[in-house]
Structure 1
Amino acid sequence: MLRGLYTATAGMLSQQRKHDTITNNIANINTPGFKQSRAVSRSFPEMLIGLLEGKPGMEVPNTGRLNTGVLAEEALTINVQGELRETNNPFDFAVVSDIQVPGLVFDGGKTITADGQRIFQPQAFFTVANEAGDERFTRNGKFSVTEQGELVTAEGFRVLGENRQPIVLLDPATQIPITNVTVSKNGQLLDSLNGQALLDAGGNPIRMLISRIDNPMRMIPEGMGLFRLGDGDEGLVQPIAATDRVEVKQGFVETSNVDPTQAMVDLMSASRMYEANQKVIQAYDKSMEKAVNEIGRV
């Protein structure tokens, strides 16, 4: 009897985790560059069930296998392109990424090879530095320029250039932040007034560092639209190549890729499955109450 109680409890915990993941997706429907997550459940390892007779030395016959519940193992990020929304703000940017791999055709950001191997489509991200100066990746391109001329995200993280240094937009003569900026498709920053390339302190053209992540499923979300790579995955990131189908669009932001209709359907499904497991536990509770209070008297 208790085995079923534990199974129903595991089901409730799994559906609660799924419910939390979906509500987080819904809460970020209007967050630029947000990538929805999907909770993945798996069953506990199977147990071999045997018939015990209580006689020493007697062979125990097997009666079958049983798993004792499910586990919400992880939340996987769905890295597919969101729609673009025009803002006409010169410091709003969106990455349009459709990186191809020779011999593969991607559908929904992934493909399955003939031998059953699942391969995910490489994705492109803006590269920023967090408070500690560590590189992080984001698709939220709502940037602005500080009084010091630094190009930063809405949360204040500094946007990195090709030299992996923060982008600083200051007029060398007046030390006033430059606001008349045009960005080309490959991330090159130009002066809107004369069309000349903007230069950094070393006299080099300024270009955004757009990073290509070969397996985006290895990325770890940190909140505020930031992702990082785990230890040992540094080889998965590299600057985009000229042949990569990646484009930076100025005056646009990428909307979240959350489907609100599907999210509401999944939310209702998780709630009903939670209630179903809850009723199973209530049924077990009544059975144990009867066993203690009534059968125990006999």
Structure 2
Amino acid sequence: MLRGLYTAASGMIAQQRKHDIVTNNISNINTPGFKGGNGINRSFPEMLISRVRGGQDEPGSTSIGRIHTGVMAEENVSLHAQGDIQETNNPFDFALISNIQVPGALFDSSGKYVDENGQRVIQPQAFFTVTNAEGQERYSLNGKFSLDATGQLIDSDGHQVIGRDGQPIVLVEPGTRIPITNFRITRSGMFTNVDGQAIPGADGEPMAMRITRVEDPNELVREGNGLYRLAAPDQGGIRLIDDQDQVEVRQGYMERSNVDAGQSMVDMMSALRAYEANQKMVQYYDKSMEKAVNEIGRV
């Protein structure tokens, strides 16, 4: 009886976790560049059930089968499908259109491919590169940028946008503190003036955004405010995009959240109904144990 109680309780915890993920998706449905999460559940490790010396003539145990003891919310996987691109006509709004291909892989809408041997291949994704308050490199898809008082390009939370040279992007007229507000961005992320001439950086080289390619976006960890970090940076898995990567920077556009509002509402109601079903089972086991203690025990 207690095993059933624990199984139902674990189901309630898993559905609560799923409900939290879905509500977070819905609350960020208007957040630029937000990637929806998907809760993955799995059963607890199996237990082998055996009958030990079921009869006088049986010298050992006999295997009966396997049993699961419940379910657990294993992880929250981000869905990195491309969101809709919305035109804003704001020169400081940028959107990344990423369709990086891997030879021999035919990715589905979720960015996943499974080959004939069962090997899973995840589609690489491109990200803007910013620095957090501690100066650490982070990745973002929220391209709603602006200029601060010193002419540095920052995101909506004040994080500095990093250039290809690894330094903050500063858009000021040479030798002055006058911000450059009339500029263009090429498809590769290079800054030019209205005449198409490259705007030089502090080192004299053409200034460009640092667009980072992440080989496996599932290795990214959410930090909040639209920022991601690599779970194991020492293992690599990131590099700058090159000319062969199908990545395009669009100025005057924003990438909308890829959350499907209708499907999210269905998932939320499904989690709620499953939670209530497990709750009823907990109440049933509670009443059964109450009878066993207060009535049967009295007899």
Corresponding position: 1:214 with 2:215: yes
2-structure distance, mates of 1:112, 1:287: 47
Unaligned runs of 5+ in 1: none
CA-to-aligned-CA distance 1:86-114 (integer Å, 9 cap, x gap): 11000000000001111111112110011
Equivalences for residues 141-220 of structure 1 within 5 A:
141-192=143-194, 194-220=195-221
Alignment check: 8 A CA contact 2:163 2:207 kept:
yes
User: Which digits, 9 at most, give the CA deviation of each residue in 1:187-223, with x for residues without a partner?
Assistant: 011123x332111122221000111111111111111
Alignment partner of 1:204: what SS?
Answer: coil
- Which residue does the alignment assign to 1:111? 113
Please provide the CA RMSD for this pair: 1.6
The one-letter code of the counterpart of 1:229 is L
Conserved 8 A contact 2:219-2:232: no
Q: Is the 8 A contact 2:12 2:278 kept in 1?
A: yes
Q: How many residues align?
A: 297
1:62 CA drift (Å)? 3.2
Match of 1:31 in 2: 31
1:47 equivalent to 2:47? Answer yes
- What secondary structure sits across from 2:198 in the alignment? coil
User: 1:60: Cα distance to partner?
Assistant: 3.7
Residue 238 of structure 1 aligns to a residue in which SS?
A: strand
Which position in structure 1 is the counterpart of 2:141? 139
Q: Does the CA-based 8 Å contact 1:218-1:233 persist in structure 2?
A: no
**1:49 Cα deviation from its structure 2 partner:** 2.1
Q: Does 1:249 align with 2:250?
A: yes
Match in the other structure for 2:6: 6
Aligned 8 A contact 2:93 2:145 in 1: yes
- Aligned residue number for residue 128 of structure 1: 130
SS of 2:8's partner is: helix
Q: Deviations over 1:153-191 (max 9, x none)?
A: 000111111101100011124311111121111101112
Given that 1:94 and 1:249 are in contact with CA atoms closer than 8 Å, whether structure 2 keeps it comes out as: yes
SS at match of 2:146: strand
Identity %: 55
| TM, length-normalised to structure 1 | 0.96
Letter in 1 for 2:5: L
Q: Which amino acid in the other structure matches residue 79 of structure 2?
A: I
Report if aligned partners of 2:82, 2:97 keep a CA contact under 8 Å in 1: yes
Q: Which amino acid aligns with 2:193?
A: D
Amino acid at match of 1:14: A
Name the structure 2 match of 1:295: 296
CA-CA distance at 1:133 after TM superposition: 1.1
Partner residue in 1 for 2:269: 268
| Larger deviation, residues 223-232 vs 49-58 | 49-58
Structure 2 letter corresponding to 1:230:
A
CA distance in 2, matches of 1:52, 1:181: 79
Q: Structure 2 CA distance, aligned partners of 1:183 and 1:248?
A: 7
Amino acid at match of 1:121: Q
In the TM superposition, residue 232 of structure 1 has moved relative to its aligned partner by 4.7
| Residue segments in structure 2 that go unaligned for 5+ positions in a row | none
